[in-house]
Structure 1
Amino acid sequence: MLDVGSGLGYLPEAAREAGWEVAAFEPNEQAKNQILKKGIPLEESLDNLNRDSYDVITLYHVLEHIHDLRSTLKRLRKALREGGYLIVAVPNHDAYERSMYQEYWAAYDVPRHLYHFNRESIHYLCEKFKFEIITEELMPFDSFYVSLLSETYKNPEASTLNHYIKGFFMGLKSYWAARKNIRSASSIQYTLKKI
């Protein structure tokens, strides 16, 4: 398994404990040092990944940050073995709370987020890069996290308690809307199979 955008390496560390052979890719130097301290091997670049070397590649809240999206997806596809899985989690531009917070929606996160995805754009990428969507799952805690941050951006003068209360209730509304229709989820995790 390769975890792209590993942060401090918690996911590959947990996967290794579950019996996986793991590697990580992380551009941040301080985070790289933490990953190395855990004994997790690092891929130095996504440009030189070996063909057919991974069964699973994960990108949790990473795809929206990638500068050269098309060539990166080609490289990741090449690095997956036949029938391998790409697990991608991204903020959903059609999120319930985005329509409520509008320009204050925290998941815009410009300029760090270079792309904003919805289900249709992910389906388009899958068709273009020959992946089959196996599952689409909402990420329940993202509704609360994004709503709390959005509330802070929208009302910076309000108290922290006010942010927590309003953010919690908006997160709850967002979560329930997503349970009825995944199209309104704050973030969606996609399991994609190489075909």
Structure 2
Amino acid sequence: MTSFSAAQRSRVTMLDVAERAGVSKASVSRFIGDDRALLSDAIALRIEQAIEALGYRPNQMARGLKRGRTRLIGMLVADIRNPYSIAVMHGVETACRTHGYSLVVCNTDRDDAQERQHLAALRSYNIEGLIVNTLGHHLDQLLELRQEMPLVLVDRKVEPLHCDLVGLDNRAAVRIAIEHLQQQGYRDVLLVSEPADGTSSRLERQQSFS
């Protein structure tokens, strides 16, 4: 069997496969698409052997665009190093994989410019849905994306979006924590937080504590 380098495989086209198998390009398209059942066993075998010999790898993005479905879900996180973000990403990726989707993750490092750029990039990938852990400073972009696809917020609210939110009941969590400390005999309790900066989760905790 002929051995091909990664660079050579990247240059192999559907037409190359068709010529090697002695079939039409349309037959190769059917083989790698959803119409394989339309091909005879003999033709399907020749195409399969040609693909294996040439090391052909279909361009999944191009196929998705042609069908109007990319099966991509975008996810924007404010800080990829945060254990909370890691746990959420793991759950999201597992759910996507279960339902036949792939996850594209972008990390903003809590930087406004990075968030705007990543939102534009995810939009250009023709994602089919967006999960956002946002700083909330680019409402115009988020509203436009909300009109184009399903959008889910993680942890932080952006009130004008009126979309689903997955997060913690911050007010209740703070009350439970204070009650627990009081039951343990503590009376002077201090809340330490990063600057709120409009982040709904931090504001809710501060409001519940005061």
On whether the aligned pair clears a TM of 0.5, the verdict is no
TM-score by length of 1: 0.36
Q: If you compute each CA radius of gyration, which structure gives the higher value, 1 or 2?
A: 2
State the structure with bigger RCO (CA 8 A, min sep 6), 1 or 2: 1
TM-score by length of 2: 0.34
Q: Which has the higher helix share?
A: 2
Q: Which has the higher strand share?
A: 1
